[in-house]
Amino acid sequence: MERIRERVIQIYGNLVSLLQKCIFCILSVGPIPNHIAFIMDGNRRFTKKCKLMEGAGHKIGFSALMSMLKYCYEFGVRYVTVYAFSIENFKRSPEEVQSLMDLMLEKIEEILKEQSIVNRYGVRVIFSGNLKLLSEPVRLAAERAMLATAKNSKAVLSICVAYTSTNEIMHAVQESCEEKWDEITLLNSSGAGYGLISLGGYEQDEMDHLIKLTDIEKHMYMAAAPDPDIIIRTSGETRLSNFLLWQSANCYLYSPSVLWPEIGFRQFLWAILNFQQIHFYLDKQRKQS
Amino acid sequence: MDFSNESRVLHRCSAQIGNLLLLSLWHLVHSIISICNFTLDIANVLESYLISSGLLGRYKSLHIAKLRYLAIVIESEEAYQTSKIIELLQWLEAVGVKHVCLYDKEGILKKSKDFILENLDGAIWFQDAHENNVLLDQQHMTLEFVSFSDGKEAVAKAANVLFMKYSKSGVTDQNQKEKIFTESQMSEALKTVGSGGPEPDLLLVYGPARCHLGFPAWRIKYTEIVHMGPLKSMNYGSLIKAIYKFTMVRQNYGK
């Protein structure tokens, strides 16, 4: 009896998989997004809604993330970014922050294992954010994961931890200023600069353009990935909460009302279909920038 | 030899038929989606008529005080329709919205600024009303006009302002560095270069897609972004519904 049940479940699983593959086949006739970003909102609400133990929502949320990554990479999306932990989240209770950090540590170790999704799809993992704000064990695990997957080149997973857009912009501006200063100091010391900065050797006009937009953009934490095509935020909330504000100028924002642990193939499909409907318009906007 | 040729031709034919089949299925799927979206649009239009006529009770009283600053993003091609924009602003005035920011990517609205201000009774330009970053409780509506150059390019200009401060200070002093490169210093620098407006609570997008089209990133951290459809099909009911939904939202700000 037990074996028959298992067999039925297996056949059902295979059929669902086949159906998904067929759907992807049809959809790939149209434009495939290059980069999808996820704001994984609603884990705590899910825990409350299903009356689970604290932290269970986040664990189920992690499996939901694995399924979404599978759909993305199977469909051919090269870059996926997820908003795992915001700098603002540090304001939560120390117990909650600690349990999230522990979960992150546990899951980083898990994805580095042999049969994990990262190795199956050749995914390079990048941790974007102010990693100095993380505790030592988490930061070291993150750096280990980045090193271990550095050679993978089929797809990229950017995990934003200790990240906010404003912090990213600020960091990029600081790095640009420090780099420009070093450049000028080098020019000065080699005699070519003629003490440009201190003696007011630049024209006012030039001074306003020392730091260029390209300098700032190359120092962003997310510089390794192109601008996102779709940002999906679950729980029906319509704000970006300081996520990819700089990069989302021509990006389709989709806010399904499901909570993150409940997200599935249906929402992924709907996001892709809507993206394909307006792709022509967004592409035109991007080319005009 | 003949067989391999024939099998290659057969293979190519079947691949082409397969591709045609996939293409038609794709178009079929998208036609179904378009029909679904069209039916949803009709339902929305009906709902807006009900709201405008005041038949739906809950939309009658809005907690408009919650909406301190409203931003409107308009598709640049539709931004030429200044009469529609003036009508929209008149509706907002009627509802009680006091401070509005108008954005379009190419700065078309900036060019129509004088025309809009002249034709909208009792509206004044944000820059004129603005004093020490305190939004005074005005009788009049204030209007701000923003374009793409107030976003990324303004950040680059602000970076230059901070660079000047950095180069004048003790560059090797870590404390000084920490004081200069802070988010509040950046906000001040943005104000200095003329792109330092307040953060909108709600952003309404009038265009084909839900996309903020480059609205200054520094200002939309926690802004609710709502898609209203194209400007040509704007209606009063959906405006009220969007504002009502906004007043019902509760934010944690990360906590």
Q: What's the whole-number average pLDDT of chain A?
A: 91
Q: With both helix axes pointing from N to C terminus, report the angle between A2-27 and A56-75 in degrees, rounded to the nearest 10.
A: 50
Distance CA B65, CA B176 (A): 40
Chain A contact present for B132, CB below 8 A = no
Per CB-CB distance under 8 Å, the chain A contacts of B156 are: 211-213, 216
What would the mean pLDDT of A23-39 be, rounded to a whole number?
95
Q: How many domains does chain A have?
A: 2
Q: Is B206 in a helix, a strand, or coil?
A: strand
| Pair A211, A236 in one domain | no
Is the pLDDT at A46 greater than 90, yes or no?
yes
- Going by C-alpha positions, the residue among A123, A18, A23 that lies closest to residue A79 is A123
The answer for A 66-105 residues in CB contact with B (under 8 A) is 86-89, 91-92
* Res A75: pLDDT: 95
Q: Is A41 noted as a catalytic residue in this protein?
A: yes
* Res B127: pLDDT: 78
pLDDT digits (tens, 9 = 90+) for B170-195: 667 777 778 889 999 999 999 999 88
pLDDT digits (tens, 9 = 90+) for A136-193: 999 999 999 999 999 999 999 999 999 999 999 999 999 999 999 888 888 878 766 5
Residues across chain B: 255
Which CATH superfamily groups domain B64-168+182-248? Answer: Decaprenyl diphosphate synthase-like (3.40.1180.10)
| Pair A188, A170 in one domain | yes
Q: What is the DSSP letter of B66?
A: G
pLDDT digits (tens, 9 = 90+) for B202-244: 999 999 999 999 999 999 999 999 999 999 999 999 999 999 9
Identify which has the larger pLDDT, B62 or B66.
Answer: B66
Q: Is the pTM of this model over 0.90?
A: yes
What CATH code is carried by the domain that includes residue A254?
3.40.1180.10
Q: Is residue A150 part of a domain?
A: yes
Q: Per DSSP, which regions of B46-120 are E strands?
A: 70-74, 99-103
* Res B17: pLDDT: 93
Identify which has the larger pLDDT, B138 or A101.
Answer: A101
Q: Is residue A128 part of a domain?
A: yes
Is the pLDDT at A197 greater than 60, yes or no?
no
Domain span at residue A187 reads: 165-194+207-220
Weakest mean pLDDT among A49-53, A139-143, A198-202:
A198-202
Chain A contact present for B171, CB below 8 A = yes
What would the mean pLDDT of B152-166 be, rounded to a whole number?
93
What string of H, E and C letters represents the secondary structure of B6-35? HHHHHHHHHHHHHHHHHHHHHHHHHHHHHH
Active-site entry in A41, A102, A227, A283: A41
Per CB-CB distance under 8 Å, the chain B contacts of A197 are: 167
| Pair A187, A258 in one domain | no
Contact B30, A277 (CB under 8 A): yes
Chain A contact present for B226, CB below 8 A = yes
Is the pLDDT at B43 greater than 50, yes or no?
yes
| Pair A104, A234 in one domain | yes
Q: What is the DSSP letter of B233?
A: G
Kindly give, in sequence order, each residue whose CB lies less than 8 Å from that of residue A90, ignoring residues fewer than 6 positions away: A97, A133, A162
Kindly give, in sequence order, each residue whose CB lies less than 8 Å from that of residue B156, ignoring residues fewer than 6 positions away: A211, A212, A213, A216
Residue A174 to residue B177, Cβ atoms within 8 A:
yes
Is the pLDDT at A199 greater than 50, yes or no?
no
Q: Is residue A126 part of a domain?
A: yes
What would the mean pLDDT of A44-58 be, rounded to a whole number?
92
B204 exposed, middle or buried (CB, 10 Å; 0-12, 13-18, 19+)?
A: buried
Q: What is the ipTM of this complex?
A: 0.91
